[in-house]
Amino acid sequence: MVVSSETPAQMEGDTASSKKAAKKAAKAAEKQQKKAEHKAASAQPQNESEPDFSEGRYGLLKLIQSSGEHRDRIYTDVKDLGVKMDGQEVWVRARLQTSRAKGKQCFAVLRQSSSTVQLLVSVNEERAVSKQMVKFAGNITKESIIDVRATVVKTAAPVESCTVRDVELLATEVWTVSAARPQLPLQIEDAARPEKNDDPEALRIRVNQDTRLDNRVLDLRTPANQAIFRLEAGVCRLFRDILTRKGFVEIHTPKIISAASEGGANVFTVSYFKSSAYLAQSPQLYKQMAIAADFDKVFTVGAVFRAEDSNTHRHLTEFVGLDLEMSFKHHYHEVLDTIGATFTEIFKGLRDEYASEIATVAQQFRVEPFKYLDPPLRLEFPDAIKMLKEAGVTLGEEDDLSTLDEKLLGRLVRAKYDTDFYILDKYPLAVRPFYTMPDPKNPKSSNSYDMFMRGEEILSGAQRIHDPEYLIERAKHHGIDINKIAAYIESFRLGCPPHAGGGIGMERVVMLYLGLDNIRKTSMFPRDPKRVTP
């Protein structure tokens, strides 16, 4: 006979513990069963009590592999929607910017570039819109691309949150073409939030610059960015069209070169088969060779590379250069006047043709109207020295202007002449490159010039020395090894007309025209000393 060593109290405790464990296990089993039933119910295509009369009108669109379906379908752009289309049925492909489902309705905003329109998906048997379809629309992830078949309906009151305000879309079909992932690295509404808002009640949420640039594809979808880069395309188009009308020929110059374009060490070295080469700092040599080859007036639009460790608001290691060069008959001001007039025409073109883009940028950033004179204001370097001296800044007649001097001068010029654009002529010879033509009337001056927008330089140029012997003399004066520029000098030994030109930083022009605070806002995928991706 075995006698238990447990006391009655211990036996009672064990019984209570067993009951508790059994109760807990029963609850877990019940929970698991309910979960399985819910999963099975959700897997059912439809509830018998609530038939899905929208079946075949919504869902995930079959992967588009150009197999030929729907090629005859006509799509309408969001920007073209209006009251004139009231009652019409349209197909629209756009991004789902936001959605809000509640009960039998789902309100959403569709976005196409910078244009937005309200979409309503509402339960309606006549239009064959079921609860299941409304639920599907409400679950589509933000930034997904969708196809919508809908009726255009005039709204009783303007839809203030959209660019298309007088109509909305009443959906009859909703298809997901390309789904975005549920968790986005940044929200478009945060990235698009006005930075100029002085309202103390306004949200202070900001997306920092690195987050924007690390996720540039998303960041570029904001209305302001869509407008900035369309305006940037406008600058390039105007530059091309204006100069073409003036008789210029567009050329394309090498970006891989055998020697530094402008001397110095600020070049990127690249491996070139069994030797090394450099990325071009400027197309200048080739522009000048084109002039020597009788092209008379040339321009080029292309990448320029500068290996400068400058982490500033206005420097990039790769940017788009708008360069031009032209021969002249007697005075380099023939070229200077041509460049000045080109800028004036570009400013007019932006004002007249891109007013909506400028207004869109102004909704997010502080954009002050850009002022300019026609013809442009031209000052000589001694005039600038005098204006700065009157403002308390003392400079020698052969000193260059610092960045702070340039900005102060820009403010002084704006106050005195009411212009944001001006030309500064006759720079001191000592601060210009060896190939700059000296001023024949003043040995300390040169036939060179810079152009400024809002107090920052956007073009540097000069009359080039086109006589080979004089060029050698000036190169020796600057301590430059003649052997390293032999090919450059040789291009003038076959006869070359007098010529002048300049190089413009396209991103800087757009930045300063809009009055933005950082050049990375006007570079689609910026490159600087700390960034080489994406």
Which residues are known to be catalytic? 306, 308, 314-315, 457, 460, 508
Whether 453 contacts 513, CB under 8 Å: yes
Question: What is the distance in angstroms between the CA of the first residue and the CA of the last residue of the chain?
Answer: 83
For the purposes of burial, counting CB atoms within 10 Å of the CB of 322, is it exposed (0-12), middle (13-18) or buried (19 or more)?
buried
Q: Is residue 451 a contact partner of residue 404, using CB atoms and an 8 Å limit?
A: no
Query: DSSP per residue over 208-264, as a string?
Result: -HHHHHHTHHHHTTSHHHHHHHHHHHHHHHHHHHHHHHTT-EE----SEESS-SSSS
Buried b (16+ CB within 10 A) or exposed e, 152-176: bbebeeebeebbbbebbbbbbbbbb
Strand, coil or helix: 380: strand
Beta bridge partners of 301: 322
CA distance 487 to 360: 49
Cβ 250 vs Cβ 384: under 8 Å: no
- Cα separation of 259 and 482, whole Å? 12
How far apart, in whole angstroms, are the C-alpha atoms of residue 131 and residue 124?
9
Length of the chain measured in residues: 534
What whole-number distance in Å separates Cα of residue 522 and Cα of residue 334? 31
SS3 (DSSP) at 283: coil
Contacts of 303 (CB under 8 A, 6+ apart): 255, 318, 319, 320, 321
User: How far are the Cα atoms of 205, 228, 452 from residue 197, in angstroms, in the given order?
Assistant: 11, 19, 29
- Omega before residue 375 within 30° of 0, cis: yes
Q: Which residues contact 281 (CB under 8 A, 6 or more apart)?
A: 260, 261, 262, 266, 267, 304, 305, 306
DSSP state of 188: H
Angle, in degrees to the nearest 10, between helices 223-245 and 333-353 = 140
Distance CA 72, CA 437 (A): 64
